[in-house]
Amino acid sequence: AQTVTQSQPEMSVQEAETVTLSCTYDTSESDYYLFWYKQPPSRQMILVIRQEAYKQQNATENRFSVNFQKAAKSFSLKISDSQLGDAAMYFCAYRSTPWSASKLTFGTGTRLQVTL
């Protein structure tokens, strides 16, 4: 079974600074998808960014980017120019292929605080 590990229960960053959240995973599969979701106090899980394992290029979405190291099974999230609205719980998630309605497995989460 796949496992996803987030070793940082809590992180703090000052507004406008950059922070990196760590995620590692364990799998024997060669093809899969990785996601970062955020969950603010409103409870809704919101997709931040996704990465296909077969793509070597790291995904970017505006201020959010990933550092995907397939051999190391590492998938970190970098948030640049942090904003107060970035404060939330961040979950790394793994999804196997090829079946589309397959299980999405979440890590334990990292709570991000953004300070002035």
85 binds other proteins (CB under 8 A): no
Place of tokens 């496992």: 3
What's the CA angle centered on 96, arms 95 and 98, to 5 degrees? 130
Alpha carbon distance 35, 86 (integer Å): 17
64 binds other proteins (CB under 8 A): no
33 binds other proteins (CB under 8 A): yes
- Residue 98 CB, shortest distance to other proteins, in Å, is 6
Tell me whether residue 68 or residue 91 sits nearer to other proteins (CB atom). 91
Alpha carbon distance 86, 103 (integer Å): 27
Choose, by CB under 8 A, the member of 28, 30, 42, 56 that binds other proteins: 42
